[in-house]
Structure 1
């Protein structure tokens, strides 16, 4: 009972953006992205984008994102060669996770999911239409050029939105404003971990802590790593958008 009341109190404190997509509560999973800059809480939309959301959550549950980084910041002052400009931060997994990477997934277009690249949207980075794997980005302000029919990617297929930040956009903005060389963050912001934090249950009709989350109470912080060669390419940290 105490756990249930705590969960309800947590939901009451969430910004109004929570469940703003109109998704059924049982189709939404809350996750926390823990970084040295602070925490970002987001909803993951299994109902609207089942392929992309499940792929992301599989990586979360396998702890593949642990020690990954936010490594790229795209803003208005560092896109001199792009006619269509966007504002996002992009994250990827550590190179040491290469053997645990899953196959690429089909692109879930925004015309299919009904989701859009609005402020705070989580979306899957990609090269070709069906090449998304683990790298994802978060939008700052609305970015319609990333939706289906938009012109950021020359194929016009857009990118696959699968979630929405509901708390921590100040952290997202702080990461975006870090020093850059080109679009590479000079000090990549390490992702300590990403975890599910609440799950919906039919029994209680309310969000309760998942079994994994209940055993993880030590939310630690980690260092920011400086990479002398921050502009160098990286197998799992390419542009992707």
Structure 2
């Protein structure tokens, strides 16, 4: 498996996000947990201003319903991990993905992988932020993606683990849309890579907008 976090397009156009954080070869057949029948509404517990070379995106992160995933993102922000990383994969009418590579597509060392909380049941709707991961369920580390369309095919179900949504864009979705339509190419097997690098300059805590 390519070390790069990629996007798997099957013959049926079913889309999945693959994590790069090590070659994952899951030969077992674990049973996905049953998704919650009444998924919670996303909570805005902490907000971050993500400054990129395309503009600003403000994210509200749910630490209440998604404690593992939300706190994982927070700890990366707290140590300035995302500063200087790329939106390294952009797919029009699907998603934009970042948080794992620096300029020149150099992989950045991460903390340990986390448990997949997708079964909590929050859907991959337009404007939500979720974790990319490897082929196995509990393999997400630092990489995330922002959905630019509703992508329910990425949700957990009775037969798939899904991808854990842990927040949403509360301002700057127009910037995410612009990132999603930039010209891309393939570089050394890295597909859907922006021809002109899109940098995350900084991610800093900010006030959450009034409910």
TM-score by shorter chain over 0.5: yes
What's the counterpart of residue 107 of structure 1? 116
TM-score (norm 1): 0.62
Q: Name the structure 2 match of 1:136.
A: 144
Gaps of 5+ in 1: 1-19, 77-86, 201-205, 208-241
88-97 or 132-141, larger mean C-alpha shift: 88-97
2:42 and 2:167 in contact (8 A); partners too: no
Residues 126 and 149 in structure 2, CA contact (< 8 A), matched pair in contact too: yes
The alignment yields a C-alpha RMSD, in angstroms, of 2.3
Distance 2:164 2:78 in 1: 20
Instruction: Report which of the two has the higher share of helix.
Output: 1
Question: How far apart are 1:97 and its partner, in Å?
Answer: 3.9
- After TM superposition, the structure 1 = structure 2 runs for residues 38-117 of structure 1, keeping only pairs within 5 Å, are 38-75=55-92, 87-93=94-100, 94=102, 95=106, 97-98=108-109, 101-109=110-118, 111-112=119-120, 114-117=121-124
- Count of aligned residue pairs for this structure pair: 162
Q: Displacement of 1:167 after TM fit?
A: 0.7
**1:74 Cα deviation from its structure 2 partner:** 1.6
- Give the Å deviation of 1:57: 0.4
Does the aligned pair in 1 maintain the 2:95–2:148 contact within 8 Å? yes
Are 1:48 and 1:115, in contact at CA under 8 Å, matched by a contact in 2? no
User: Structure 1: how far apart are the matches of 2:198 and 2:80?
Assistant: 17
Residue 21 (structure 1) aligns with: 41
Q: What secondary structure sits across from 1:162 in the alignment?
A: strand
Aligned to 1:147: 155
Q: TM-score if structure 2 supplies the norm length?
A: 0.71
**Shift, 1:75, TM fit:** 2.7
Pick aligned residue for 1:164 from 145, 168, 173: 168
Q: After the TM superposition, which segments of 4 or more aligned residues of structure 1 sit over 3 Å from their partners?
A: none
CA apart distance, 1:199: 6.9
Residues 124 and 96 of structure 1: is their aligned pair in 2 closer, same or farther, counting only changes over 3 Å?
Answer: closer
Question: Structure 1 residues 176 and 62 mapped into 2: Cα distance closer, same or farther (>3 Å)?
Answer: same
Q: Which residue of 2 aligns with 1:216?
A: none
